[in-house]
Every structure is written in C-alpha cells, then in structure tokens.
Structure 1
C-alpha cells in the first residue's frame, strides 16, 4: 500500500501494509492526502512495517528519555542516523523509528495502537522535516484576517481556552490547529501550517498562513499584556519546540535558526490573563 500526503508543503510518501491500513482509518490524515499522485516530487519517504530494532544499529548513544502515561520514549543517535523508540513499562516495544539524515528516508516498525501510530508518524515526519526548514511547535493557533497568531504555554495554562474565547468574541477568526502546528521558513518569511496532529481537538486544515504574532500565556488574577524583549522572547518560544530536538546539536541549530527568523520581524507578547472575554479582547487589541 502506498499513499502520498502534502503536509506543510512537503510531499510525504508512506508505504507499508498492516500499519498503513490502520493509519488510513484515521480521518485526520484524509485532508492531507494527494489524490493525483502522478509526477509528484517526494520530499520524505516513510516506510512502515520495517524491521527496526536497536540491536541492528551501531554506536547507539541516548540523547533524551522521558515517560508519558507509563510509556517510555527514547531518542538516540547512532551511526545509521537517529533512532526513536517507545516501550511499555514491561520493556516490550510499541514502535521504533529510524531516520537517515543523508537520504530523508524514515523506517518505522509495525504498530497496532492508533494513538501510538499518530505519535510515531509525528516523529517520523518531524525529523526529516526540520532539515527542510519545517518545525513542529506546541501551540494553539488562531487565524484572523488571513494571518496566524500562536498562543504558547505549558500544558494546562489555558491555550485552548483562550483560542476558544477568540472564536466566540473576535469576529472573522477560526482555529488552524490546537496543539502541534508546523512552522515553515521560506526566505525571510515564517508561515504557520495546519497538521494532522491537533491534540484532543479535531481541527485538521491543509492551510499555510503567514505568522502575525506569538503570545506566551500564563494564568493571572487580572488581564495584562506586554511586548517581550528579544531575550524574553527566546525564553518564551524555545520551550515550545519539541524537547528531544533541543538535546541534539544538529537539530538545536535549526531551532535557533528558526528563532532568529521569528525574532527579526515577529512581535512576541506575554499575556497574563483570566479565562474570560476581556482577555481575548485585550490580546486582540494589543496585536492588531
């Protein structure tokens, strides 16, 4: 089985059998599928149901490990490229991904869990996409007047709540993505792209929109918004990029390159706020 998707302007070819069949049942990928696959130049190849085992790779060096919902995630470098693995608490493997940075080829093992497939696909796409100047970022994204505003913050700070307030009280707005939009660098311009990964919110749009502003949110008993200095802007944005990428020198260079492009022309704000209508109006008035 073979399918081609267009995600943030990159053409991604997926091939495989059992895991591909499960992926095609996930509706979030449907809008990104290319119907006419003739004469398409492929940017990223992801081959599923491959035999990806750490025992087959040499000079494996762990870069970053973390646990989410009793699943251990590990990101490593090896002579063959980059290895990402997910294991259960009993040590059994859920899925593995190996990326060869010299060819933009990604191999992914078989996986029978739809949630894990989505996450593994995010990894399999993100690793080669960074080389093409496309980076994932943790944010909730509103589009107003054909421009994107990204709301950043730790999980639980109210990003989704705040964008819902924009949808409710600010005219001519819509949600582009509620969890993991993609930033695309084209020359000196930064664009925000919809993606198949939007957290718990079903919002999957194949759109590419110019970046208007970034806003770092925090909860506060009153609504206050200010423009951040460049130094504070770095501190506001950098933690929203995937942490495992920041632990590798090559990927962190790409993040810093993207940060430099953002800070050149994009205003970054700090919004301390309550979850109410006034917070959305203060943010809108300050940005626009």
Structure 2
C-alpha cells in the first residue's frame, strides 16, 4: 500500500490497513510532490542504537506524550512515549538517507504517525534545501505570504482577517507549510500538516514576503535587516534541530538563501482589519 505524501512516499505492509491508518494518513493524499522524498517502512522492532545520545526532550501535547530526539553513530531517533504508560512509537532514519523505519502499530494514536513523519521529513528535506516551517500562509495574486509568531500570537487570526477583508486572499496552510529555495526562487508549498485547520492544498507558490507578528496596542510594520531577519525566522524552524550542529547548519543555509530575495517584516498589530490591510499594502504596494 503506497501513499504519496507531499514529497514523501510511504510504503506500508498490507497489515497496516483499516480506518486507523486511513485516519492517520488521509491529510497527506492531496499534497503535491516537492523537493524531497522519504520512504517509511513499518517494522516490528527497531535495531539497537549503539552510542545513542539524547539531544532534546519535549512535550507533544496533541497526543499527551513525551518526546525524545537523539542520534547515534548511524542516524537519528525520535521516540514518542504516551503518558498513559502504553508502548512508545519510535522513528529511525540514517544520516543522508531517505529510507526510514518505525515500529508504529494500530494500537498507537494516529497523531504519533503524523508527527513522526513530520520529523523524518524535515531531517531528509533540510539537507536538500527544504524544511517545514511553523507559520500560517496566505495565497494572494499567485504568491505566498508567511506569517510567523509564537503560539497564541495571532497567526491564524491575522490570516483570517486577510480572507475576510482582502478580496482574493486564500489560505494555503495554517500550521506547517514547506519552504524551499531551489534555483534561487524561494517557494512555499502546501503540506499535510495544517494544525487544527484542515487545509491541505496541492499548490506551491513563490514567496512574496515573510512577516513576524507580535501583539501591540497599535498597527506598525517595518522591514528587518538581514541579521534581524535570520533571528525572526529561526524560531519557526523545527526546534529540535537547534540541538544538532549539522541540522542547524542546514536550516541556517536555507534561511540565508531565502532572505537574499524575500523581504522579512515585523508587524506589531491589533487583531483588526486595518492590520491586515497594512501588511497587504506593505507587501504588494497597494
């Protein structure tokens, strides 16, 4: 059974059938192949990892689980352990390889498979000039505008205001689109990861601008200098990657390529229509 998932090919054994796996993989069926490929094999047991070193430990609140991300002599491992005491799901990939493996089963929460695929995808893609980026993206005049910010800042609210008050504005993705910089033309891609908003568009667009949001009692926007732009973008890359030198170097290389031709802004704003109009006028000049 094969699924085409964004730029990911996932191969599952015949035993992995039924509503459980369909529910886990359904969002991925509508996205278009892009800058990287990944093949996932479901196995009964992952091999031991000699010399394993944990890099990062964090919460996965969507599935009430704890995550551990680390590496050994051969590759990376993500372990997601549900807090109810059930068996963890583990996801393994070798350095420089697009072939990955997991011991995910039908007893696991489907959210674990989606998040595991997100992590494996980013490891495979970032060395090839692409990465999933935490943001909400508007499509307008056949270009994409990415809105960044900490959780709760109002990314989804701001893109909703675009859709309500700027004719022709549409949502491309509301949580984790893919950005790439191949051929010197930064692009944003729809992806199977769209958070709580089910928006899985089979599209990719040149990036018109990237805007970092912060809440304020006024609406004010300014363009960031390159060193400020890197600082504004890095927090939206996969957080675990900052603990690994090679992954972080790849992220920084990609972001440097993006800001060479894409303007990055900081928008201090209220959650109102004027904020959406201000950002639109700044990016598109009207």
Q: When the two structures are superposed, what TM-score results if normalisation uses the length of structure 1?
A: 0.90
Question: Size of the alignment, in residue pairs?
Answer: 276
60-69 or 18-27, which deviates more: 18-27
Gaps of 5+ in 2: none
What CA RMSD, in Å, does the superposition of the two structures yield over aligned residues?
1.9
Equivalent positions of 1:138-149 (< 5 A) are 138-149=134-145
Taking a change above 3 Å as real, the CA distance of residues 157 and 11 of structure 1, as seen in their structure-2 partners, is closer
Q: Residues of 2 paired with 1:248 and 1:138: CA distance?
A: 19
Gaps of 5+ in 1: 35-41
Deviation at 1:151, TM superposition (A): 0.1
Q: Residues of 1 paired with 2:21 and 2:241: CA distance?
A: 25
- What's 2:160 paired with? 164
Secondary structure of 2:58's counterpart equals strand
2:169 maps to 1:173 = yes
2:9 maps to 1:15 = no
60-69 or 232-241, which deviates more: 60-69
| 2:70–2:77 contact (8 Å) kept in structure 1 | yes
Secondary structure of 1:24's counterpart equals helix
Secondary structure of 2:51's counterpart equals coil
Taking a change above 3 Å as real, the CA distance of residues 33 and 144 of structure 1, as seen in their structure-2 partners, is closer
- What's 1:205 paired with? 201
| 2:31–2:203 contact (8 Å) kept in structure 1 | no
Deviations 1:61-112 (A, max 9, x none): 1111112334211110112310000113365433100001243211011232
Equivalent positions of 1:84-103 (< 5 A) are 84-89=78-83, 92-103=86-97
Taking a change above 3 Å as real, the CA distance of residues 33 and 236 of structure 1, as seen in their structure-2 partners, is closer
Q: When the two structures are superposed, what TM-score results if normalisation uses the length of structure 2?
A: 0.90
Deviation at 1:17, TM superposition (A): 4.2
| 2:49–2:72 contact (8 Å) kept in structure 1 | yes
